[in-house]
Amino acid sequence: VMKNKQPQKRPVDSGNKPVKAYNMVVSGETSAEINMYGDVVATVPKDWRTGERIAGYIGLDEFLEDLEEIKDKDNITVHINSDGGDLYAGLAIYNRLKALTGTVTTINDGLAASAASLIFQAGDIRKMNAGSNLMAHGVSGFLFGYYNIDDLEELAVQFRAHNKAIV
């Protein structure tokens, strides 16, 4: 028996699922680590020809399912490097991380932009590396097509509500 042996880190079991843009690792009895390196989306897009998941996306549904495996840990460290993505997927992850009973530490490894900047704010302890960037912004959207004044006014109402949710 080795007295100074470090606890072995083990990934949360994902079976035969494809590699995800995040990784959750249990390290010891009381700690876990999450690495989030991808765009945040409500549902991971699939290749229309093969039906396989497209790599590079942090899917809300899968993320929250996997979070259940580590939710009772005393210390959870979240490393983030993400361009952001879907506002409400990011807010849902933020809210679930804030609801954890243990201490959550978020670390910006490179970029925490847009929805990822919200996730970064979920940390009880938040750390920025010297070369990291944090980018937060108000709601924006892409419009294509024809709109009348009523459509645009309704869109402005929705944007104001989204901005309040961010704040």
How many degrees, rounded to 5, is the angle at CA 47 between CA 146 and CA 88? Answer: 55
- As a whole number, mean pLDDT of residues 131-152 equals 93
Cα 93–chain centre separation = 6
Of 18-22, 52-56, 88-92, 139-143, the poorest mean pLDDT is in 18-22
Would you say 59 and 42 are in contact if contact means Cβ atoms under 8 Å apart?
Answer: yes
For all residues of the chain together, what is the average pLDDT? 89
- 77-128 pLDDT per residue, tens: 999 999 999 999 999 999 999 999 999 999 999 999 999 999 999 999 999 9
- 1-27 pLDDT per residue, tens: 334 444 444 444 445 555 689 999 998
- The β-bridge relationship of strands 39-41 and 57-59 is parallel
Give percent above pLDDT 90 in the chain: 79
Would you say 43 and 60 are in contact if contact means Cβ atoms under 8 Å apart?
Answer: yes
Report the C-alpha gap between 117 and 84 in whole angstroms: 7
Would you say 77 and 1 are in contact if contact means Cβ atoms under 8 Å apart?
Answer: no
Cα 132–chain centre separation = 17
Entry pTM: 0.83
Q: Specify the pLDDT at position 164.
A: 92
Report the C-alpha gap between 45 and 18 in whole angstroms: 13
Would you say 112 and 80 are in contact if contact means Cβ atoms under 8 Å apart?
Answer: yes
